[in-house]
Amino acid sequence: MATYVVRVWVPDRPGALGAVASRIGAVRGDLVGVDILERGAGRAIDELVVELPQANLLDLMVSEVNEVDGVDVEDVRQIPGTPVDPRLDALETAAYLVERQGPAELLEALVAHAGRDFEADWAAVVDPSAPQPLAAVGATPPDAWVFAFVQGAHTALAADGGPASPSDVAWADMAVASLVVVLGRDGRPFRTRERRQLSALARIADNRWVELVTRTSVAGNGSRPHSSGTVKVV
């Protein structure tokens, strides 16, 4: 048994997903999960978790799905073991963040879990006034690129009132901490639901940051508890 996540564009109308499921079943596939990532302009972007009895049926399944009127397969990736539940992953990550006991530990946890949950190639937490990320995981771009991206994203946000970034990069503010969490992955765009999930994760981390800073201030250290350099997580 092989398990795949299939990202598809489908017409946003009754019966469209059923037609896709029928084509999957025609090649002996089992549709075991559906996650709606984005809707608009008469189409939806869904992620389907599909189990196939044999890996060599994958190309045939993709061909069958593409035959459905108005449907396009954007991306297919194999996942090992038991399919994960992204909602449960998000809850577990939130719980893990609020359990952290120090600011540096919190940032390390944020990039590590965000990188995992979003299957990102890299993740970083950036102070827009500092020259390098405060925490990072994966093959991050050069520090100058990350810094310039954050500055440019904030400028665009102030100019037009909406978030701006390339499709393969997602970012969210930690407003009270004045930090930004940034993720990147090659070849698979971040969709609306993923960007909203990242924003929620950043808000959770931001609130925990406030608690930790308050605790530090009460202990007699009024300085902002940034780490002294980039924390690389492996």
The domains located in the chain, with CATH, are 2-79 (3.30.70.260), 86-233 (3.30.450.40)
The share of the chain scoring above pLDDT 70, in percent, equals 84
User: b vs e for 170-202, b when ≥16 Cβ sit within 10 Å of the residue's Cβ?
Assistant: bbbbbeebebbbbbbbeebbbbebbbebbeebb
With 0-12 CB in 10 A as exposed, 13-18 as middle and 19+ as buried, what is 219?
A: exposed
User: What is the side-by-side strand order in the sheet with 179-184?
Assistant: 169-174, 179-184, 122-126, 135-138, 231-233
| Averaged pLDDT, 16-35 | 93
Task: Kindly provide the residue ranges of all beta strands, DSSP E only, lying in 132-195, ordered along the sequence.
Answer: 135-138, 169-174, 179-184
User: Is the whole-model pTM more than 0.85?
Assistant: no
The pairing of beta strand 2-11 with beta strand 43-52: antiparallel
**Which range, of 33-47, 95-109, 155-169, averages the lowest pLDDT?**
155-169
pLDDT score of 41: 85
What pLDDT does residue 233 have? 43
The CA-based diameter of the chain, rounded to the nearest angstrom, is 67
Query: What average pLDDT is seen over the chain?
Result: 85
Give the pLDDT mean for 143-168: 70
Please give the average per-residue pLDDT across 190-206, as a whole number. 92
User: Between 21 and 153, whose confidence is greater?
Assistant: 21
> With pLDDT > 90 as the criterion, what percentage of the chain qualifies?
57
Q: What does the pLDDT read at residue 230?
A: 47
